[in-house]
Chains A and B, each alone.
Chain A
Amino acid sequence: MSKATKLKEAIKTGLAFALVFGIAMKLNWMSPYWAGWAVAVIALSTAGESIRKGMYRIVGTIPGCLAALAIHALAPQERWTFMLLTCGWMFLTSYLMVSRQKDSYLWVMAAYVCLIILLSDLDSSANMFESAMFRTVETVMGVVVYILIAVFLWPQTNLGAIQKSSAELAATLGDIFRAGRDALLGQRAFEVSFQALQGKVVPQLAQFAKVLLAEGSESNEVSEARHLWERFHGLSTALLEAAGRWQSGFAELDRIDVRAVFPDLPAFLAELDARFAALPERLAGRSPAHLSRPVRLEVDHAALERLTPFDRAAVEVARKEMERLEALTAMLLECAFELQGHAAIDGEAKPVLTPGVRERATWLPVPDWDHLRSATFVAATTGIGFLIWIVFDPPGHSGWFQFSGTIALLIALVPTLRSSPLIGLVAVSSAICLAIYVFVMPQLSSFLELGSLLFVCMFLVCYFLSGMARFFGSMAILNILQIQNHQVYSFAAMANFFIFLVLSFTFIFVMSYLLGSPRPEKVFLHLLGRFFRSAEFLLSRKELETGRFSPLERWRIAFHQRQLRSLPAKLGAWSKAIDRKLFPENTPEQMQALVTSVQVLVYRIEQFLETGPVYRAKPLSPELREDVKTWQAGIENIFGRWSRNPEAEPVGALRQRLETGLIRLEERIEEVVNRAGGEVSREEGENFFQVLGGYRGVSEAALAYAGPAQAIHWSHWREERFS
């Protein structure tokens, strides 16, 4: 953001902030700072984003108010029931907050407003309904005032941003495909360029989702086509994943002449290339003549017969992945065609493809373990805060219940945020506001003076601070200045409040130890252990024969699949939170390589799990049953050891063991095929070779993980230290 834009945005926020206080005080509304909070929180860089957040703030306020009224109605005089109901509501809303990216803020508000309304009038419940109404009205007023200012004064619009963002995303996806194509044809190394391009496309996907929400709030045209844009986002995410899976098998194709095995490969790749070239053009509204035409990737069976069993398996896996890429690019192009205002090609509306959600074998809900932990943290902090209030009643009183719960929500929302630096930030910003409260505010005698002070304070916070610092700066202004209609000054009350703020953050810091160490390197180790436990479990449940699992077993499989899919991204986020100064021996590149190898493992395990039951093809399967079983047990064993110790398997020894196993299995396959007189038909063998490719892929990915894992100084990470 340029300095001029920053200045304009700070002026707009300061103006709206002073104005909402003026309106609320003029109308003699309860707690004018509620409207101030609405302005401070929804003041974002563009009008669309502010409108979106403002809408969520209003919509989230309603369930929050209703929940507070219901809790008070159910437990007006029973403190334990009151505490349990409130903690239950906090658990539910915070779980929804962390698990639903799209409307996360709505659930933040539902939790936060409930706490506010529950404690709005401690002496009597008679005014609770009035408080709930004022809270809603003042929130709406704050949102409306800011939106009007954002729309009419130096408007920062998002119009056109979605087309730009989608065209950039499509161009990067095209680059990823072309890098993969060149690597497949032996023209350049793919791994390095894929990592760089993936690093570029992941923020582009996040930006696209953000822009879609923001521009959808501003433009009716975008809002109407929202389902198509969401489908485009889902398809792009699936395409990125498919490209990752495709490239993860390139190492196995090194020894194979792919052009001989796939005679139509140049035409197939040329068609995909043409689709990627047409996509940005079509999204930008310049409709090119290119329409996707179906292409198939046929295998030359004579060339295939000449390959070793493992190379045939690698070819099978690569063919499947390329067919997936083909299908996804055709769908993307069709989606872009529909976005131009054309009807769907086959006349049917397509479902939104939600990334990360696969067809599950269970109807039971499958929770995310980390989301459950975050929700437990919020509920426990709220509950213990309540106990501190009613048992000890320290300075801050009911704030221990309400304020601690609110800050716990913030920590749960951004788990990598360290709570210890916040203590200093809060102490400094609150001390400055305390000085204003003591020395400046008693000198003011009119709203013009008070409004000017509020404008200046908010302007300074918005202009000089950003991110968390800005949030805590706003919080200090609103909580310490305590502007009311009948203003009274109490140094003791404010000094106590200052102490409470610092103590409550210390309390949150202590609570962050409740569910394990908050140190990033410890969390990373913990997540890695969980990853390998899930991988071990899933491999152990790979169907060896056609058989049925019990509903509980299916639920466990779905749970571990979800773990496996979500953990690489979490590992990536936590690896960035590790303090480089404390661990100088591990470079960011080493950490990135480790996270990438974990992601590759996920791709290869998924490819393996997608293959059918192992023992269908005859005569290969029955004969090799024991060999494959031994291999599977070996891999499970390695994952089990890695779940306890990420460096348990030195790469050299592991490579030797896996290669010996591969050679032995290859010899056994030859032996069985020779004994059967070479009578293994394509149909019979295809399934078996897919399974074999899956096993090989998992083994190669395990080797790829062992290398970077050996370079990390795990023993240093495990050392205890003060956080």
Chain B
Amino acid sequence: MNSIPSEFTVGGVYLPPMLVAGCLGVLLAYWTARLLNRYRLSRHFFYPPLVFVALAVLFTVAVEHVLVPF
């Protein structure tokens, strides 16, 4: 079984899958944080900066599972 993730290619330039997943993960975490701020739901967190890091990691893992081909 091949467990090595494949690179993304844009115009012949190979990009590491972790970079793409990481960027998308941070963007998704950013939009989620904005939504939580907008509806004042972020006040329920003890320390939002750590929640943001956790969200970014979760989204990165999720994106990698969904988008990155093996």
**Residues on A close to B: CB < 8 A?**
491, 495, 499, 510, 513, 582, 719-723
A58 to B41, CA, bound (A): 51
Q: Are A719 and B43 in contact (CB under 8 A)?
A: yes
Q: Would you list 20 pairs from A and B whose C-beta atoms are within 8 A, ordered by A residue?
A: A491-B13, A495-B13, A510-B49, A513-B49, A582-B37, A719-B42, A719-B43, A720-B44, A720-B45, A721-B40, A721-B43, A721-B48, A722-B33, A722-B34, A722-B36, A722-B42, A722-B48, A722-B49, A722-B52, A723-B49
Which residues of B sit under 8 angstroms from A513, Cβ to Cβ? 49
Q: Are A499 and B36 in contact (CB under 8 A)?
A: no
- Per-residue contact bits, chain B 9-33, to A (CB 8 Å; 1 contact, 0 not): 0000100000100000000000001
**Among A491, A495, A499, A721, contact of B37 (Cβ-Cβ < 8 Å):** A721
A720 to B47, CA, bound (A): 7
Q: How far is the CB of A442 from chain B (nearest CB, A)?
A: 15
Q: Classify the secondary structure of A's interface with B.
A: loop
A720-B42, A720-B47, A722-B37 given; name 12 further pairs at CB < 8 Å: A510-B49, A582-B37, A719-B42, A720-B43, A720-B46, A721-B37, A721-B40, A722-B36, A722-B42, A722-B49, A722-B52, A723-B48
Which residues of B sit under 8 angstroms from A582, Cβ to Cβ? 37
**Among B19, B42, B48, B51, contact of A499 (Cβ-Cβ < 8 Å):** B19
Which residues of A sit under 8 angstroms from B49, Cβ to Cβ? 510, 513, 722-723
Q: Which residue of A lies closest to B43 (CB)?
A: A719
Q: How far is the CB of A696 from chain B (nearest CB, A)?
A: 41
Q: How far is the CB of B36 from chain A (nearest CB, A)?
A: 7
Which residues of A sit under 8 angstroms from B48, Cβ to Cβ? 720-723
A722 to B48, CA, bound (A): 5
A178 to B2, CA, bound (A): 85
Tally A-B pairs: CB < 8 A: 32
Interface centre among A499, A513, A582, A722 (most CB of B within 10 A): A722
A137 to B13, CA, bound (A): 40
Q: Which 7 A-B pairs have the closest CB atoms?
A: A722-B33, A719-B43, A721-B42, A722-B48, A721-B37, A720-B48, A722-B37
A723 to B51, CA, bound (A): 12
A723 to B47, CA, bound (A): 11
Q: How far is the CB of B29 from chain A (nearest CB, A)?
A: 9
Interface centre among A513, A582, A721 (most CB of B within 10 A): A721
Which residues of A sit under 8 angstroms from B42, Cβ to Cβ? 719-722
Which residues of A sit under 8 angstroms from B36, Cβ to Cβ? 722
Q: Which residue of B lies closest to A509 (CB)?
A: B49
A582 to B38, CA, bound (A): 9
Which residues of B sit under 8 angstroms from A721, Cβ to Cβ? 37, 40, 42-43, 48
Which residues of A sit under 8 angstroms from B33, Cβ to Cβ? 722
Which residues of A sit under 8 angstroms from B51, Cβ to Cβ? 722
A185 to B34, CA, bound (A): 54
Q: How far is the CB of A618 from chain B (nearest CB, A)?
A: 59
Interface centre among B34, B36, B43 (most CB of A within 10 A): B43
A45 to B70, CA, bound (A): 57
Which residues of B sit under 8 angstroms from A499, Cβ to Cβ? 19
Which residues of B sit under 8 angstroms from A495, Cβ to Cβ? 13
Q: How far is the CB of B43 from chain A (nearest CB, A)?
A: 4
Which residues of A sit under 8 angstroms from B44, Cβ to Cβ? 720
A473 to B37, CA, bound (A): 30
Which residues of B sit under 8 angstroms from A723, Cβ to Cβ? 48-49
Q: Which residue of B lies closest to A721 (CB)?
A: B42
Q: Which residue of B lies closest to A420 (CB)?
A: B30
Interface centre among B33, B46, B49, B52 (most CB of A within 10 A): B49
Which residues of A sit under 8 angstroms from B45, Cβ to Cβ? 720
Q: How far is the CB of A510 from chain B (nearest CB, A)?
A: 8
Q: How far is the CB of A585 from chain B (nearest CB, A)?
A: 13
Which residues of B sit under 8 angstroms from A720, Cβ to Cβ? 42-48
Q: How far is the CB of B37 from chain A (nearest CB, A)?
A: 5
A722 to B26, CA, bound (A): 14
A510 to B47, CA, bound (A): 13
Q: Which residue of B lies closest to A491 (CB)?
A: B13
